[in-house]
Homo-oligomer: A and B are copies of this chain.
Amino acid sequence: MMKTIDLNCDMGESFGAYTLGYDDLAMPFVTSINVACGFHASDPDHMAKTIQLAKINGVAVGAHPGFPDLVGFGRRSMAMTPEEVKHAVMYQIGALDAFCRAAGLKMQHVKAHGAMYNMAEKDLSFGLAIADAIQAVNPELYMLCLANSQMVTAAKQKGLPYVAEAFADRAYTDEGTLVSRKIAGSVIHDVKEVVARVVRMVKEGTVISLSGREIPIAAQTICVHGDTPGAVDMVKAIRTALDEEGIQLQPFGK
């Protein structure tokens, strides 16, 4: 059987007069995108534009809900209750879905953004809040979860379809969790090394941890970036390598 994998990438993070990211350059190389919904980034006009771009490129679309903090780009944790997080996620899924429906696209998934993602992968109550939100709006949507995290537990508890993601450029602990960004070596910048790691993740289902051990990692999607020219080059290299390895790239929801 042919190996398949999905590459997911945050997109649609421009806002008003402000441009962020190289969506048009990166989109041809990924298979799923996480689209900002106006709370941490984007606005109705950029959402419309992003969904059009997704349609043209044939990528699958997910909502990328974040905290209501434009100045902080949703990267600052906020002491919202799980109930408030649930409602904020529902709102953002619905808002993006309007543009999907208008474009004749079916939304594939939901991936929490920034600090909300970080809270949900550690604290089950926030993972459950996100799962609740998805289930309330559309129980067919996949919850995109960090592999080996509380988000997976939350999705399982709710009986929600989910996929686990691994990060192309992040170092892993021996337990299969992400090495904190505060630790040296947590982010891998060398394109060849990143490409090799992704190929290993997909073909072997393993990753070499920061301490040098081979660790199992089960991921249905790999998170890549498109916010700098260098990031776009990395995405292209990853895509090319996967194609050469005969691995089929397709949205996980297919």
Contacts and interface: CB of A to CB of B under 8 A. Distances in A.
Contacts of A47: 87, 91
Contacts of A90: 44, 48, 98-99, 102
A38 to B, nearest CB: 7
B44 A87 contact: yes
A84 interface: yes
A69 interface: yes
Interface string A63-99: 0000011111101111110011001101111111111
Nearest to A18: B18
Contacts of A115: 79
A22 B94 CA distance: 27
A3 interface: no
Given A45-B83, A47-B87, A95-B94, A137 B73 contact: no
A43 B15 contact: no
A221 to B, nearest CB: 24
Interface string A194-238: 000000000000000000000000000000000000000000000
Contacts of A98: 90-91, 93-95, 97, 136-137
Contacts of A17: 20, 41, 73, 75
A194 B93 CA distance: 42
A4 to B, nearest CB: 31
A47 B89 CA distance: 13
A72 B78 contact: yes
A228 B138 CA distance: 37
A241 B251 CA distance: 57
A69 B77 CA distance: 12
Contacts of A20: 17-18
Contacts of A99: 90-91, 94
A44 B97 CA distance: 16
A97 B107 CA distance: 15
Contact of A78 (B79, B101, B102): B79
A141 to B, nearest CB: 11
Interface of A: 15-20, 38, 41, 43-45, 47-48, 68-73, 75-80, 83-84, 87-88, 90-99, 101-102, 115, 136-138
